[in-house]
Amino acid sequence: MSEHAQETQKNTVTGLPASKLAGADFITGVLLALFGGAFLTGALNMRVYQNFLISPGFFPAILGVLFILFGIFLAYTSSLRGGCADALRVLSPASLKKSFTSPVFKKGGVVFLLILSYVALLGTTDFVYLSIAYLLLTFFFLKAARWYWIISIAIAAPVIVQYVFTQIFRIPMP
């Protein structure tokens, strides 16, 4: 395959040129390996009863090792496509400043804070009321639909979930 054809080849999922994903693949590979290391550390610190093969940390340890191996593999293969240099360019102070000040990042930050608030309040506030408030705030902020649909969905979804879990599945809600 010629060099030009290789450059214009597109990723089937994102539609972006394949070379544009090398930096993202490198960063994802490094983060996956680090996550696997944390996972493995947590698994190895779990209590061992008779032997490690029947302890609760055995399966998480296997997952941790797999995450590490797949992360290293992804980082290595992307570095062959110039991923390390792309990642360093994307993580440069100028590029990060541009990303952090973009409207998309700010919108994502607000949604992330709404999610964190919802999770933090989940055990202390009634599920239905909290979920209605969360859905109303999130949908109106994102302008997800017309106002009457937002209100309808924000009220109906938590009520239906509460009913199904408590009355049909007999699972208590927080």
> What pLDDT digit, counting tens, does each position of 99-148 carry?
899 999 999 999 999 999 999 999 899 999 999 999 999 999 999 999 99
Mean pLDDT value across the chain: 88
149 Cβ contact list (under 8 Å, min separation 6): none
The proportion of the chain whose per-residue pLDDT surpasses 90, expressed as a percent, equals 69
Which residue did the predictor score with more confidence, 17 or 67?
67
The proportion of the chain whose per-residue pLDDT surpasses 70, expressed as a percent, equals 89
Q: What angle do CA 88, 92, 94 make, to 5 degrees?
A: 155
Cβ neighbours of 17 (radius 10 Å)? 14
Cβ neighbours of 154 (radius 10 Å)? 21
Q: What angle do CA 58, 60, 66 make, to 5 degrees?
A: 110
Which residue did the predictor score with more confidence, 57 or 160?
160
End-to-end CA distance of the chain: 58
* 116 three-state secondary structure: helix
Residue 95, amino acid: S
Q: What is the pLDDT of residue 166?
A: 93
Instruction: Write the pLDDT tens digit of every residue in 65-82.
Output: 999 999 999 999 999 988
